[in-house]
Structure 1
Amino acid sequence: MKDFNLTQLQAFARVVETGSFSAAAERIGVSQPAVSLQVKQLERQLGVRLLERIGRKATPTQAGQELLEHISRISAAVADAGSAMGKYRTSNVGRVRLGTGATACIYLLPPILRDLRNNYPQLEIIVRTGNTPDILRGVEENSIDVALVTLPAVGRMFQVTPLIRDEQVAIFATGDAPPQPMVDAASLMARPMIFYEPGGHSRDIIDGWFRDARLVPKPVMELGSVEAIKKLVGAGLGCAVLPRLAVDGSGSQGNLEVRSLRPRLVRQLGLVLRNDKILDAGLRAVVEAVTMMKPQS
């Protein structure tokens, strides 16, 4: 019965309904031999006779009559399935798995997620945070539908849309910052430094900036939390390099002071999906909402 299918059931039901193979073929829109073949295959797979000819009319046997009851329930189930799937074509329902970094999750996504929830209350959005390589691996494995991460995202399977340029800045405890508005790698090396933990694109970008100055940074602490780094810097335990997004612009930030880097260092945030990812209504709504974020200079 491995080849048992809906087409065979439909052909049999139409023969019973119309009383003939030719009328059933006309109703379905196929040839009469095609209908005869479908019914014969169904009888062979089930191992029973389903139809008998009484005069010029095809009528169901007792087995055929009982099969019709099952077909009725099967047809109702198929109709219900079609109706259930229809809402995914016409409205924003379902589930979207969004992967991103901690900075974007804290400082960019909250208003976007709030608006999505208000506009699409039936849409479930699951947010997963992590380092860019881990998030991109999730996109590759299809455990994440769409990612907002630090670029680059290398791979022919990825569709990448650059969105935001985020300047990296140095932060110091209030009163401990250098007087000049910009700092270079050598001046930071003279202080205790608190960095992101290794493994992410953001840390790679910072390490690369020091390498360009022919220096190798030796942080006294490495953490995975932007907010934890800010707290430790504010307590006077060292300086750090963080995205400007994370310090809400330039100038004094409570117990923190911000300085631009010399030379300027910028990371690019972008949206990443698989090239073969199907954008249903819910995923399209999330992609459009994130893409509408205004780039920063």
Structure 2
Amino acid sequence: MREISLDRLRTLVAVTDRGSFADAARALHLAPPTVSLHIAELEDRVGAPLLLRKRGHVGPTSIGELLVERARRLLTDAEQALDDIQRQVEGLEGRARLGASTGVIAHLLPQALEVLRKHHPAIDIQIAVLTSQETLSRLVDGTLDVGLVALPQPPVAGLVIKPWRRDPVMAFVPAHWRCPARVTPEWLAAQPLILNDTTTRLSRLTAEWFATGGHHPAPRIQLNYNDAIKSLVAAGYGAALLPHEATTPLPDSRIVMRPLRPALWRRLGIAHRAGHVERSTQHVLDVLWDLRLA
């Protein structure tokens, strides 16, 4: 069964609205024979007359009125669909799916979301809390658009992974403890510890840091939620090693931060698929990139 083209429906609506084949041809920038052909093809497809010609005026038949009514809705929907798609192509609307760890989501990502809300309010940011490996896997299979991942990472075919920022890892210690000005692996290994769980890159970094002093301490508890870890430190349950971004609020007064000796850094990268990047995704990447020095 042959389909009805939108061009033919647009011609039918124009003739009905103007009551004239000639006026419809001028409005649509078509030759009059083309308008006649469009109507003839529609009538052939429907199997019934759609227009009545009398006394110099053209009007729809009852079947024609029904088709014109449906045609208006179809044409409106088609124009709206094209407008919506164009807005997404231009980056005025759209969706960006982002994966990140809880540590990044806690303080860094909200800063980016605030900027995006102000300048690109019609972009829907969908966030998934994932490990770096989960984020990279989902970028590869196309279910994420942007990932914030721990570095270093081996090259992944089809992905671009760029260094984003470097933040110092600090010792978070209960304020009532007596602790040195710079915390060493030897001192911290002798304290009750609250550490990130072993699925995280930070866990591997801190294990390597302790190992520089020949220590392999067992923590009292392992978590993957930095704010919960800080709450436990504030309660005096133990000390922790956590990254500290420059824009992060100072910790609870029951916590003191101390630099490490030797120093330790958490490095993060921005990952996305290689090749064409949709404008909405590019806006997210641009805003995140501006946070690399924050």
TM-score (norm 2): 0.71
> Deviation per CA, 1:9-31, whole angstroms, max 9, x where unpaired?
99xxxxxxxxxxxxxxxxxxxxx
Show the counterpart of 1:283. Answer: 281
Change (3 A) 1:79 1:257: closer
CA–CA distance in structure 2, aligned partners of residues 158 and 225 of structure 1: 27
Is 1:270–2:266 an aligned residue pair?
A: no
Change (3 A) 1:76 1:130: closer
Show the counterpart of 1:175. Answer: 176
Show the counterpart of 2:290. Answer: 292
Identity of counterpart residues, as a percentage? 25
CA–CA distance in structure 2, aligned partners of residues 209 and 156 of structure 1: 31
Q: Is the 8 A contact 1:250 1:258 kept in 2?
A: no
Q: Is the 8 A contact 2:99 2:130 kept in 1?
A: yes
Indicate the SS of the match to 2:161. Answer: strand
Q: What is the root-mean-square deviation of aligned Cα atoms in Å?
A: 4.7
Amino acid at match of 2:293: P
Is 1:136–2:148 an aligned residue pair?
A: no
Amino acid at match of 1:165: R
Indicate the SS of the match to 1:144. Answer: coil
Show the counterpart of 1:219. Answer: 219
Show the counterpart of 1:36. Answer: none
Change (3 A) 1:75 1:227: closer
Specify every segment of 5 or more residues in structure 1 that has no aligned partner in the other structure, as ranges: 11-65
How far off its partner does 1:140 sit? 2.1
How far off its partner does 1:266 sit? 0.9
Indicate the SS of the match to 2:97. Answer: strand
> Deviation per CA, 1:203-262, whole angstroms, max 9, x where unpaired?
122222233444323111101211111121222222111112299489995433423232
> Deviation per CA, 1:122-174, whole angstroms, max 9, x where unpaired?
22212222322222222222222111222233412221121110111112111
Amino acid at match of 2:273: R
| Paired residue total | 290
How far off its partner does 1:75 sit? 5.9
TM-score (norm 1): 0.70
Q: Is the 8 A contact 1:150 1:268 kept in 2?
A: yes
Indicate the SS of the match to 2:98. Answer: strand
Q: Is the 8 A contact 1:93 1:122 kept in 2?
A: yes
CA–CA distance in structure 1, aligned partners of residues 248 and 93 of structure 2: 34
Q: Is the 8 A contact 1:252 1:258 kept in 2?
A: no
Q: Is the 8 A contact 1:101 1:132 kept in 2?
A: yes
